[in-house]
Structure 1
Amino acid sequence: MAPKVLISDKLSDAAIQIFKDRGIEVDFRPELGKDKEALAAVIGDYDGLAIRSATKVTAALLEKATNLKVVGRAGIGTDNVDKDAASKKGVIVMNTPFGNMITTAEHAIALMFAVARQIPEASASTHAGKWEKSKFMGVELTGKALGVIGAGNIGGIVCDRARGLHMKVLAYDPFLSEDKADAMGVHKVELEELLAKADFITLHVPLTDQTRNILSAENLAKTKKGVRIINCARGGLVDEAALAELLKSGHVAGAAFDVFAEEPATENVLFNLPNVVCTPHLGASTSEAQENVALQVAEQMSNYLLDGAVENALNMPSMTAEEAKVMGPWVKLASHLGAFIGQMTDEPIKAINILYDGVVSTMNLPALNCSVVAGIMKRANPDVNLVSAPVIAKERGVKISTTSQDKAGAFDGYIKVTVVTDIRERSIAGTVFSDGKPRFIQIKGINIDAEIGAHMLYTTNKDVPGIIGTLGQTLGTNGVNIANFTLGRSSVGKDAIALLYVDDRVPDTVLKKLADTELFQSIKPLQFDVA
């Protein structure tokens, strides 16, 4: 059955057509974005929800979204989506951070020009029939120091455009390396130096606990006298009341804001102050940007629903369509390894340790980690998936650690998963053969070579004669067909294991007959999702 997507905000016809061309059933109902009751009444029918800013994806709505797998936001900001609730429900939340980068960067540059030359006030004065040429004395941008707080995607474009204007660019970004700064032609500085030296300051960071009020009253007081401040990023980055006081005192010569701590901003302490330019969150408001993000979200959601590719997700590791093709068998193996341990472990798990060796060690390990953890958690919660599994593990206090290493064994690559409980450690390893099929290669330190099927039977015993015969005869006489039979032992006469791939689940009556032989230490039927 084809996936179904609901578009509850305005999206372009071209974006709608992308869904249709990819074979996805799509309903375009933009009126639902502002009608939460009507949206809640139908959301259970859909696998995907495409939105802009009007639709509010709340925890209450997600409770009704019984089939929902992905929410796609055409734009950067996802303040209208409860991402924690989405993660717990296993719903991926995507945005489109690249579709409006240029537009937002250009708006910041435009506001910088506007506040440098007092263009809005001069325009209003001229429209009013005045000719106040001497009143509007501006400053040049050439030769001035521009402090860029956040030199990522949008900030990087601002840096490039500012260099073209022959400005000296000072960049503060904890994640910016010296080599990257050199390549960008900017000076990497600490925040204190930027505040002290910048003639203009522009912000390009998300609103987080670390960046909230980054231009606090204390930091604003450290700025150079005559500084001009531009914010096209997020409201809440600047103490607006403190800035208003510094504007009134003349310490700050001007400000240009496209975003505010409270929006819609019908009132604000910055309004009507001299040389303050305000726009109503227009950073992404160009026809090109709106089209770009709409097309991008349609492609991303289609890629996920059809191919499992995760792009620009905010609550799980991204995995491109190309990665999904290469990693598919390894993702499946990771899930099988987790499922094996999850079905074998009855006591609470304290830690999950995952080792990646060889070719798999260079892949997207966060995505593989999610698959392992999801496999483990499925026994306790069958509805768990790649998104919700890490959240559930964290809530339960399970520590997850990852190790990667160069090829260290007979295989080109393998994954080994070990879980730690209060009473034991349990491990299993697997690889992917050249045919693309996952295989188990080691259990409890015992080497094996086991094909993975939907229904399996795992036994442990001492290495004594008669095990193969007992398993084969008991299963055979009770109508259980064996597709594959794998044995392994630690050494002669010591611990031994058997892993059987059977056509159907082994009935409890047959398991009891095996137990009654008293040859086995443990007998465990297992199930795997091999679809």
Structure 2
Amino acid sequence: MPKVLISDKMDPKAAQIFRERGVEVDEITGKTKEELIAMIGEYDGLAIRSATKVTKEVLAAATNLKVVGRAGIGVDNVDIPAASAKGVVVMNTPFGNSITTAEHAIALMFALARDLPEADRSTQAGKWEKNRFMGVEVTSKTLGLIGAGNIGSIVADRALGLKMKVVAFDPFLTPERAVEMGVEKVTLDELLARADFITLHTPLTDSTRNILSAEAIAKTKKGVRIVNCARGGLIDEVALKAALDSGQVGGAALDVFVEEPAKASPLFGTPNFISTPHLGASTNEAQVNVAIQVAEQMADYLMSGGVTNALNVPSLSAEEAPKLKPYMALAERLGALVGQLEGDNIKGVAIEVEGAAAELNQKPITGAVLAGLMKVYSDTVNMVNAPFLAKERGLDVREVRHDREGDYHTLVRVSVTTASGEKSVAGTLFANSEPRLVEIFGVKVEADLAGSMLYVVNEDAPGFIGRLGTSLGQADVNIGTFHLGRRAAGGEAVLLLSIDSRVEEPVLWQVCQLAGVKTVKALNF
């Protein structure tokens, strides 16, 4: 039974779902880094919020860990490269608090438009400064979205309902999606010049850090109001303070800060500035939603192999997993075969699918090929860290999908680029479930790839099979199955033998001495 640790406070429904799905769960919160390191080794999964820091040191101690699930969007507290290298899937729940965060952005926009916090303080202080708080309507105003993904699109929908005009800057926003959302796609400079309100909904990356810099803020319409419920660091806080003081920015509302918890900020105490303590996801509904979602996602992965909302491995739904499982087994064995035969000679790899395989999600098939291929270099490789290891070794990886119909109803081909040219192996599924090799380096051969095997390339000549059998028999090696293929009569032949035990080096040398032998390699699957 897989075992999961919930290390941050989470809605009780998360633990309930784990148990219902057959996963053992411990809820132990508030531990120090050292305490977490001491205990993490016994767990297959780690469910967290924002408090737990999943560092390289924690991952190094997590000898059984397979998945980290973040109940929420941000994964700044997880060392994703280290997790990938370790072969640990990292998931988040990007949709569980989307509505909540979008609503908070709209709420802050209204608060800015009508100066609600200051008006509240003034009124409760016994003043009645009706003429002091002259706000603006949002109707007919232009809202500028920086980031038009899931949360941004919800904000756009609500703003359009308020009869606002919405312009959006997002390099990944297609013209078709912009039309579907009812927004106008613009450049960042166009957005800055036209927007009456700006709201940010983009992750913090090298390209988005300080996207609202002093230079960018100077390009805005005078009196613009700015809302940030996304990530601290998207706005230069010092520059924003100066713009508020000068009147270039008419108001700003931040739910996120560069340093959190924000005990101090250059913005605190500035007129027309509103702040909240990272409340974007803080509703009862959102807390329940993200807890349920992270538990469901992690349980799916641990129990059936389904991968949802993963940040370092292709997604694979629980429904897809059973259908793809035999293809992934075939792909891993093909990768392992070509890896063992070519090893360090490989410079690039192409994964081709055709027939029924071409209708499936190819990413898990590619991951399985790389996992098999990389076993030559690492004994802890899996689908998660295999692409990482391939990149580390400088391998060029290509995916090819063919619509054509071939000799088989489904086919997976793995081609590798070597110094001596391109070589490929191909396989199919018998009865839609049994992986079977059908071609190796241009030679047709039908074989299972399992257990210990012997690969022999020889000149096709009478008596060779007998001599090989005698040689192996004398070495006390028992042959289970025998598969033979050749390019042409009297030409080069390929033999794949399944044997009951791994062949040792002296036996390989003995086989090499047989007349006509060109290559001999022991294989293991």
TM normalised by structure 1 equals 0.95
SS of the residue aligned with 1:354? strand
* Separation in structure 1 between the aligned mates of residue 56 and residue 382 of structure 2, nearest angstrom: 18
Task: Return the alpha-carbon distance in structure 1 between the equivalents of residues 431 and 105 of structure 2.
Answer: 52
User: Runs of 5+ in structure 2 lacking a partner?
Assistant: none
Show the counterpart of 1:313.
310
Aligned: 1:467 with 2:464: yes
Offset at 1:492?
A: 1.8
Shift of 1:467: 3.1
Partner of 1:403: 400
Deviations 1:52-83 (A, max 9, x none): 11111111111111111111111111111111
C-alpha distance after superposition, 1:2-33 (max 9, x if no partner)? 1111111112221101111111111110122x
- C-alpha contact (below 8 Å) 2:40/2:61 kept by paired residues: yes
User: Which residue in the other structure is 2:232 paired with?
Assistant: 235
* In structure 2, distance between residues paired with 1:52 and 1:511: 54
Task: Name the amino acid aligned to 1:4.
Answer: K
Which residue of 495, 520, 525 maps to 1:523?
520
- 3-state SS in 2 of match to 1:370: helix
Number of the residue aligned with 1:13: 12
Q: Post-superposition shift, 1:425?
A: 3.6
Among 202, 207, 211, which residue is 2:208 paired with?
Answer: 211
Aligned residue number for residue 487 of structure 2: 490
2:132 corresponding residue in structure 1: 135
Write the distance in 1 (CA, Å) between the matches of 2:253 and 2:345: 55
User: Is 1:40–1:61's contact at 8 Å kept on the other side of the alignment?
Assistant: yes
**1:22 matched to which residue of 2?**
21
Does the aligned pair in 1 maintain the 2:343–2:376 contact within 8 Å? no
Structure 1 residue runs without a partner (length 5+): none
Q: How does 1:160-199 map to 2 (within 5 A)?
A: 160-199=157-196
Whole-Å separation in 1 of the counterparts to 2:416 and 2:501: 28
Q: Distance in 1 between matches of 2:363 and 2:66?
A: 19
Equivalent of 1:290, from 275, 287, 292? Answer: 287
CA distance in 2, matches of 1:144, 1:524: 73
Structure 2 distance, partners of 1:426, 1:53, is 48
Over the matched positions of the two proteins, sequence identity in percent amounts to 58
After superposition, the C-alpha distances for 1:375-400 in whole angstroms (9 at most, x for unaligned) are 11112211111111111221222221
Please give the TM-score of this superposition, normalised by the length of structure 2.
Answer: 0.96
Q: Secondary structure at the match of 2:339?
A: helix
The answer to whether the 8 A contact 1:151-1:171 is kept is yes
Of the three residues 316, 332, 341, the one matched with 2:329 is 332
Residue 69 of structure 1, aligned match among 66, 74, 80: 66
From 81, 104, 108, give the equivalent of 1:107. Answer: 104
Q: Check whether the contact 1:104–1:284 (CA below 8 A) recurs between aligned residues.
A: yes
Give 3-state SS (helix, strand or coil) of 1:385's partner: coil
Deviations 1:391-410 (A, max 9, x none): 12212222212222212421
Per-residue displacement from partner, 1:111-140 (whole Å, max 9, x unpaired)? 011111000110111111111111111111
Q: Is the 8 A contact 1:359 1:407 kept in 2?
A: no
Q: Is this contact kept in 1: 2:143–2:166, CA < 8 A?
A: yes
Shift of 1:433: 2.4
- Output the CA distance in 2 between the equivalents of 1:341 and 1:415: 13
1:453/1:502 contact within 8 Å kept: no
Query: Which residue identity does 1:462 align to in structure 2?
Result: E
Matched, 1:85 2:116: no
Aligned length: 525
- In 2, Cα distance between the equivalents of 1:363 and 1:215? 42
Q: Could you say what secondary structure the match of 1:132 adopts? A: coil
Partner of 1:502: 499
Distance (Å, rounded) in 1 between the aligned partners of 2:69 and 2:343:
38
Distance (Å, rounded) in 2 between the aligned partners of 1:464 and 1:38? 67
Q: Residue 407 of structure 1 contacts residue 413 of structure 1 at CA under 8 Å; is this kept in 2? A: no
Quote how far apart the aligned CAs of 1:91 are: 1.1
